[in-house]
Amino acid sequence: MRTEGGVGAETRPSERSAGGWALEVELAGLRLANPTVLASGVLGTSASLLARAASSGAGAVTTKTLTLHPRRGNPNPVVVELDTGLLNSMGLPNPGLEPFLPEIRAYRSSGLRSPLIGSIWALNSEEASTMASMIQEAGANAVELNVSCPNASKDELDTIGSEQLVRELVEAVRRSVSVPVFVKLPPLHWGLTKLAGAAVDAGADVLVATNALRGMAIDVRARRPILSGITGGLSGRALKPVALRAVYELYGEFGDEIQVVGVGGVQDWRDAVEYLLAGASAVEIGTALIYRGLSVFRRVASGIEGYLREEGFHSVEEIVGAARRG
């Protein structure tokens, strides 16, 4: 098992340390004190949890994905811990957008500097437009449009392989807000760049790669699937090589036009640096919070700073996409 030691002593990340190694990054015009972002899902369910992530060093924070109307989500069991990661079949449980807006306002009035990204999942353009306007009005600094929930049924929203639908949803959000629009993509192999291209054409500012990978687990004694939803989204370590490849491809295809954020299995500074080298401008962290706690943000940021120092770089931007430049 890799440790967090070595590169990057446990120093507190600073925007520019005495040695001149800057962790601050710019993401679609937003300033992040460091390139770590709380991923949608794990702690983004209230203002106080978002604030805890920000106070613990997250450069930006993302809400749990919200829908226009309340959703109960799937019945238990909805989570299975595997040796390679976590499978969840949550099913987008949330109180609906309107009741959540006070949480966004409370976070924004807390004075914390880490930008808040509001994650939304919409069934059609009209919903996407309404939700995006409401979330911006409440104070979100950016909107993340989730077009890749692994637990949504095809009957609800069939975005995978449907560039036209993705284009319509992104256009609707783009028209409705002035804040940056992030689009969270699925871990496709064929078709990823087509789907991303539709989002870019429709005016997305940032591509987020990737959401969890649909998988399943079976109870051999009961002889049936463990999750009530039968399948679930696989996150954590197993997802990292897949999402890293997606970031590398997206940066290669769209890196001149748009920024990419990496998400999937970031546990330590090496994971984060791999994503930066592949072309990510920042990394989202989710599942690792369950195993490593909130200190993961500072530990990853400190490690990135140590890497920059040891390798002779002075900013995060300098290494973004470096693996493509050779």
According to DSSP, the residues that pair with 62 across neighbouring strands are 117
Could you say whether residue 132 binds ligand SIN (CB under 6 A)? no
The only residue of 62, 136, 141, 151 in contact with ligand SIN, by rule CB under 6 A: 151
User: How many CB atoms are located within 10 Å of the residue 191 CB?
Assistant: 13
Which of 149, 242, 300, 304 is catalytic? The answer is 149
Q: Name which of 30 and 212 has its Cβ closer to ligand SIN.
A: 212
Task: Name every residue whose Cβ is closer than 8 Å to that of residue 325 and which is 6 or more positions away in sequence.
Answer: none
Question: What is the spatial distance between Cα 14 and Cα 173, in angstroms, rounded to a whole number?
Answer: 34
Residue 243 CB-half CA count within 13 A? 33
The only residue of 114, 210, 211, 302 in contact with ligand SIN, by rule CB under 6 A: 211
Could you say whether residue 185 binds ligand SIN (CB under 6 A)? no
CB of 229 to ligand SIN, least distance (A): 8
Q: Name which of 36 and 151 has its Cβ closer to ligand SIN.
A: 151
Q: Name which of 151 and 259 has its Cβ closer to ligand SIN.
A: 151
Q: Prior bond to 210 cis, omega within 30? A: yes
Report yes or no: 125 and 169 within 8 Å, Cβ to Cβ: yes
CB of 153 to ligand SIN, least distance (A): 11
The only residue of 44, 59, 91, 264 in contact with ligand SIN, by rule CB under 6 A: 91
Could you say whether residue 149 binds ligand SIN (CB under 6 A)? yes
> Which position has the token pair 């939803």?
229
3-state secondary structure of 143: strand
Q: Name which of 214 and 270 has its Cβ closer to ligand SIN.
A: 214
128 phi, psi to nearest 5 deg: -60, -45
Helix axes 296-311, 269-278, angle to 10 degrees: 60
Q: Name which of 110 and 231 has its Cβ closer to ligand SIN.
A: 231
Report yes or no: 250 and 275 within 8 Å, Cβ to Cβ: no
Task: Name every residue whose Cβ is closer than 8 Å to that of residue 6 and which is 6 or more positions away in sequence.
Answer: 306
Site for ligand SIN in 37-66 (CB under 6 A): 41, 65
Q: Does the active-site annotation cover 248?
A: no
Contact letters for ligand SIN, residues 215-244 (x by CB under 6 A): ------------------x-----------
* Binding footprint of ligand SIN on the chain (CB under 6 A): 41, 65, 90-92, 146, 149-151, 211-212, 233
